[in-house]
Structure 1
Amino acid sequence: MTIALQDMAWHRSVAQLIEALDRPNFWAQLVRLLNQYVTFDSWVALQFSAGDRPQVFAECPAEDGNPDQLFQDYLKGLYLLDPFYIASRERSQSGLFRLAEVAPEHFELTEYYQRYFRLNVVADEIQFNCQLDNDRTLCLSLGSTQRFTAEQIALLSMIQPWVIALLRQRLPFELAEPVADDERTAAPLPTADWRTQLEASVQQSRGAQLTARELDVGRLMLSGCSSKEIARKLEISAETVRVHKKHMYSKLGIKSQSELFSIFLQAQSA
């Protein structure tokens, strides 16, 4: 389905969203409009910030009305392995981003994908990013149990200037209105640098001390980067990456990425 200039229903709906910018039902109204044109199964509006956990402004309700435990685990620390979060930190820009564009080469082989993503998001995800400054990105993420089609992506790409403009205009009202603790999934809680957390967990549980480079290699491995991708990101050789991995596994007394992921989870819950 396409939106032509003469599609008065679309323009009327956008006008209504502008009127609703300062209202509590803004996010639900925006999502309902998008769902008229593109089918998706879950959504969340949140802000990524450097040094803070994600701040959730609104999300789709769970079927039983209770907080989604998997999403709570995401907010506690799994977001550090989220391709969209990583991309927002590495590439600060507004736009529409697809999972296939931001996910590392081996993303679907990671423990993060197996234990969280395919259970919580299931198949595909697409995200509108509104870059606020170098440290903050306001996002509207849409998850689907089916792969988004080329036609759907083309449609979302066409309307993304409207959506991003609405996100930017909504932010002041989010920041200006105090929200009760039981009405918001998560406040922007300061979190220690992931490297510090992981290092402390490793020291406590394994009595080992990893170098900063080994910690970097470990996190990139857990996010799904191949040795070649890690080498490019860290500006080292692929052989050096393999050496760091070997030393890290030896120090930790582990043999698999699954065991490394378990140590990472311990660090986030500490």
Structure 2
Amino acid sequence: MEDTIAEYDFLGRIAALDTLAAFQQATVAYCSHVFDTQSVLAIRYHRDRQPDVLFRWLPDAALQATFDRYYARLGFMLDPFYRLALDSPGLAAHQLREIAPDRFETSDYFASYFGTTQLVDELGATLRVDADTAVHLSLSREAGQSRFPARLARRFKLMARVLLPKLRALSLRADPEPAAAPGFVDLNHRFRTLRIDDAPALSDRQAEIAALIVQGHSSRAIGLKLGISDQTVKVHRRNMFKKLQISSQSQLFGLLISGVSPGS
């Protein structure tokens, strides 16, 4: 009963807030205690530019450094919540494993980002602002802790119905028209423009498959997503690897990170 009263009190205070800073303070204080989380992030995603970090609470210095160095530059494009945010027409709230690609936890992105930050689980909610923009609220746990139990995941999903509309409204009030970042290149285009010596560039389909591979999708999942057979996916993959002069998914991820050929 006391927990329910505390939650109603928290949501009531959220509804009355009029600044993003006040929302951050209230949300971090409540969620870090109730959900035993090691990070609270609020991000505004865009389809054609890098994300805006509305606020971040990252007490762990290593996690903070990795997030600042890696996530906003490239990592966000491989984040399942980024994809969810721009594909879902309304409010969506999930535990990471509910929306992650089938090979996500064996992907190089998972190893490089989650391995470095020691994150073990995430609860996230997204809500569209317009056709090309969405806000995202995330709670994460680090190594040494268990995944979020089902009861907390359900609780977060219910609370998101209040938190996300308020976050959307406050983000627009704080910065209604964020400036476009020049030179933004999405994931598919990054692969289309990768060239190794005089080898031909990847086709649109090959670049699309390359992007799905580094996100953590298996050949079968890619085939289902694109409406082609997994054998066709494997043929595209083999031809793509030949053009890029690589032989593994790890090397493909390495090219994405570096943006240069192995021999340059």
Normalised by the length of structure 1, the TM-score is 0.85
- CA distance, structure 2, for counterparts of residue 82 and residue 138 of structure 1: 14
In the alignment, what sits opposite 2:50? 53
Residue 84 of structure 1, aligned match among 76, 81, 84: 81
Deviation at 1:218, TM superposition (A): 0.7
Secondary structure of the corresponding residue to residue 207 of structure 2: helix
Contact 2:101 2:215 in 1 (8 A): yes
Which of 228, 235, 241 is 1:243 aligned to? 235
Alignment partners' CA distance in 1, 2:84 and 2:119: 20
Show structure 1 runs of 5+ residues with no match: 179-186
Q: Which has the higher contact order (CA 8 A, sep 6+)?
A: 1
Query: Is residue 204 of structure 2 the alignment partner of residue 212 of structure 1?
Result: yes
* Larger CA deviation: 202-211 vs 120-129: 202-211
Q: Which moved more, 1:86-95 or 1:109-118?
A: 86-95
Q: Which amino acid aligns with 1:173?
A: R
Query: 1:129 corresponds to which letter in structure 2?
Result: T
Q: Is the 8 Å Cα contact of residues 191 and 202 (structure 2) preserved in structure 1? A: no
Instruction: Tell me: CA distance 1:161–1:64, structure 2 relative to 1, closer, same or farther (3 Å).
Output: closer
Mean alpha-carbon deviation: is it higher for 144-153 or for 190-199?
A: 190-199
Report what 1:193 is aligned to. 186
Task: Please report how far the alpha carbon of residue 176 of structure 1 lies from its aligned counterpart in structure 2 after TM superposition.
Answer: 5.2
CA distance in 2, matches of 1:88, 1:57: 15
CA distance in 2: counterparts of 1:130 and 1:2, whole angstroms: 30
Deviations for 1:158-215, whole angstroms, at most 9, x for unmatched residues? Answer: 322221232133223221599xxxxxxxx76241233333333x21667441111111
d(CA) in 1 for partners of 2:2 and 2:200?
A: 57
d(CA) in 1 for partners of 2:78, 2:174? 26
Contact residue 214 and residue 248 of structure 1 kept, 8 A? yes
User: After the TM superposition, which residues 85-100 of structure 1 pair with which residues of structure 2 at under 5 Å, given as runs?
Assistant: 85-100=82-97
Matching residue's letter, 1:225: H
Structure 2, unaligned runs of 5 or more? none
Residues 79, 113 of structure 1: CA spacing in aligned structure 2 closer, same or farther, 3 A cutoff?
same
Quick one: distance in 2 between partners of 1:240 and 1:130?
35
1:132-161 deviation line (CA, Å, top 9, x unaligned)? 222211011111123000111122123222
- The separation in 2 between residues aligned to 1:247 and 1:61, in whole angstroms, is 42
Cross-structure match for 2:17: 20
In the alignment, is the contact (CA less than 8 A) between 2:20 and 2:174 conserved in 1?
no
Q: CA RMSD in A?
A: 2.6
Task: Give the corresponding residue for 1:126.
Answer: 123
* CA distance, structure 1, for counterparts of residue 165 and residue 151 of structure 2: 22
- Of 49, 65, 69 in structure 2, the residue corresponding to residue 72 of structure 1 is 69
What is the CA distance between 1:15 and its match in structure 2?
3.4
Mapped contact 1:130–1:167 kept (Cα < 8 A): no
**C-alpha spacing 1:206/1:138, structure 2 compared with 1 (3 Å):** farther
For the pair 1:229 / 2:229, whether they are aligned, the reply is: no
Compared CA separation, residues 177 and 85, structure 1 to 2 (3 A):
closer
Q: How many residues align?
A: 256
Change (3 A) 1:92 1:72: farther
Q: TM-score, normalised by structure 2?
A: 0.86
Letter in 1 for 2:113: Y
Is the Cα–Cα contact under 8 Å of residues 71 and 120 in structure 1 kept in the other structure?
no
User: Percent same amino acid at aligned positions?
Assistant: 25
Q: Residue 184 of structure 1 corresponds to which residue in structure 2?
A: none
Contact 1:94/1:129 (8 A) holds in 2: yes
